[in-house]
Amino acid sequence: MIIIDKLCYYSKLRYVNATEKFLFSVLTLTACILSCSIGIAVLVLTVTGILTVYKGKIPLSRYIKLMAVPIVFLFLSTFAIFVNVSKTPLDAFAFSTGSYYITGSVQGLFRGIQLICTALASVSCLYFLSLNTPMTDILNVLRKLHVPALILELMLLIYRYIFVIMHLASDITISQNSRLGNICPSTARKSFAAMASSVFILSIRRSRELYDALEARCYNGTLRVVSEDYPAKISEILSIAAFETLLYLAVIVIRLSGGTL
């Protein structure tokens, strides 16, 4: 089982109304992107982190590990903004390499930090939703928002087959390791190719078996999943409304003033 999916079933916020969590995540994510502000991003990152770790009881170490994945990617992707190769040194730093400089500007550093903070805050919003809400509840919310049934069914099937393919790959890898199939790099490459082809063939076979099972149960083109709907609480609605109101007021002030902090 994917660790995110496992954690969401243990979260203390699992039984909070899914629509509340969905709207909170989407509205906060939108505000964060619209503002492009470091201050707003830090505020969102802090609030969503506290809700996920303190309220949801998600282990802090696990949350930090999950956040470390986008941090590494963001630093690598913004490296081109931080560092430039130029014949003219810029104002932040400059290292001479003959006739060229490995250099960077204060504006570029600020822009890179701004992008990293905004992206991390946006990811924290998505983590808040995914670490505290099962996939079936999210699909139920999307169904209420009249998202086309075809899209929801594709989402459900893709989500299901992530686990199927991971399970197949894990079983084959264990079998290969027991036969020293990954003892050296050349053997590991051959084993990986064999595993990938086997997973592809077996996943097609599983999809046919799934369709046959659906047909045997009078499948009419719609997948119906039993989902629980937890009642919304007035205190939670008021808290979300107050936070989003203050957040969007701050966004409006920042946009009108032309600031980025």
What predicted TM-score, i.e. pTM, was given to this entire model? Answer: 0.81
Alpha carbon distance, N-terminus to C-terminus of the chain: 40
- For residue 100, the surrounding DSSP H or E stretch is strand 100-104
Q: What is the mean pLDDT of residues 176-196?
A: 83
> What percentage of the chain carries pLDDT values higher than 90?
18
Instruction: Output the CA torsion 209→150→134→53 (10° steps).
Output: 130
- For residue 94, the surrounding DSSP H or E stretch is strand 93-97
Tell me the pLDDT band of 260, cut-offs 50, 70 and 90: low
Give whichever of 3-12, 18-27, 163-172, 200-209 has the largest mean pLDDT: 18-27
What number of CA atoms fall less than 13 Å from residue 242's CA on the CB side?
A: 6
User: What does the domain layout of the chain look like in residue ranges?
Assistant: 1-133+231-261, 135-228
* 231/46: higher pLDDT: 46
Backbone angles phi, psi at 62, to 5 degrees: -70, -40
**Using one digit for the tens of pLDDT, what is the confidence trace for 14-45?**
888 889 999 999 999 999 888 888 889 999 99
Encode burial over 49-75: b for 16+ CB neighbours within 10 A, e otherwise. bebbbeebebeeeebeebbeebeeebe
Strand order in the sheet with 100-104: 84-86, 100-104, 93-97
Using the Cα atoms of residue 236, residue 242, residue 248 and residue 251 in order, give the sign of their dihedral.
negative
d(CA 38, CA 56): 25
**Using one digit for the tens of pLDDT, what is the confidence trace for 87-127?**
777 776 677 777 777 777 777 778 888 888 898 999 999 99
Q: Is residue 241's pLDDT more than 90?
A: yes
